[in-house]
């Protein structure tokens, strides 16, 4: 009888430890996710700088602005923060996402066809994979392109 009680105490103590570790990992993952738009911004800036351009005045095509593929939900979408950061640096933004026809409350942009989004773009940022993004394969090899999945 005492052996069973002893094992139960160990299991409860172990479970508390495991829960504490999982909570710490969840908190860390949240911090990483919050920093990812800044990381992507840095990648875009470096890609533009490598061809002698700055974000100000550069044409940036954002592909996929929804939170996850195949839906029109932009709540908590990293694309919105990335776009805000680029707009604050003077970038000329356009986006393509067939599931999100327009953005309201801040950027006030409308989705354009993929070809119109990438036409004369200085950089393409793929944030959320959407079916039409597979048509970009031919463009990805050019020195002007950059892919950043957040």
Strand segments, DSSP code E, in the chain are 59-63, 92-96, 102-103, 109-110, 123-126
Domains for the chain: give ranges and CATH numbers. Answer: 35-140 (3.40.50.720)
10 confidence band (pLDDT: 50, 70, 90): low
**Is 96:125 a contact under the CB 8 Å cutoff?**
no
Q: Which residue's entry shows tokens 């533009």? A: 48
* Distances in whole angstroms, Cα of residue 60 to Cα of each of 2, 6, 7, 122: 68, 62, 60, 6
For 148, the token pair is 């950043």
The confidence score (pLDDT) of residue 149 equals 41
Residues 3 and 122: their CA atoms lie apart, in Å, by 69
51 compared with 97, residue with greater pLDDT: 97
Number of alpha helices (DSSP H) and beta strands (DSSP E) in the chain: 4, 5
pLDDT confidence of residue 32: 83
> Running DSSP on this structure, what letter comes out for residue 89?
T
Q: How confident is the model at residue 37 (pLDDT cuts 50, 70, 90)?
A: very high
pTM of the complete model: 0.77
* Predicted local distance difference test score (pLDDT) of residue 51: 85
Q: Which residue has the tokens 């969840």?
A: 26
Task: Output the pLDDT for position 39.
Answer: 93
């Amino acid at each position: 009888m005492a052996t069973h009680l002893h094992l139960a105490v160990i299991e409860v103590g172990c479970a508390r430890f495991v829960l504490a570790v999982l909570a710490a990992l969840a908190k860390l993952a949240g911090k990483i996710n919050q920093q990812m738009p800044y990381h992507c911004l840095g990648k875009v800036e470096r890609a533009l700088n490598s061809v002698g351009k700055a974000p100000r005045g550069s044409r940036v095509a954002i592909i996929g602005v929804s939170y996850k593929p195949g839906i029109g939900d932009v709540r908590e979408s990293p694309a919105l923060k990335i776009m805000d950061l680029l707009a604050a640096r003077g970038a000329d933004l356009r986006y393509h996402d067939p599931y999100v026809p327009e953005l309201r409350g801040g950027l006030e942009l409308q989705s354009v066809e993929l070809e119109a989004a990438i036409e004369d773009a200085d950089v393409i940022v793929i944030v959320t994979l959407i079916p039409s993004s597979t048509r970009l394969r031919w463009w990805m090899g050019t020195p002007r392109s950059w892919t950043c999945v957040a």
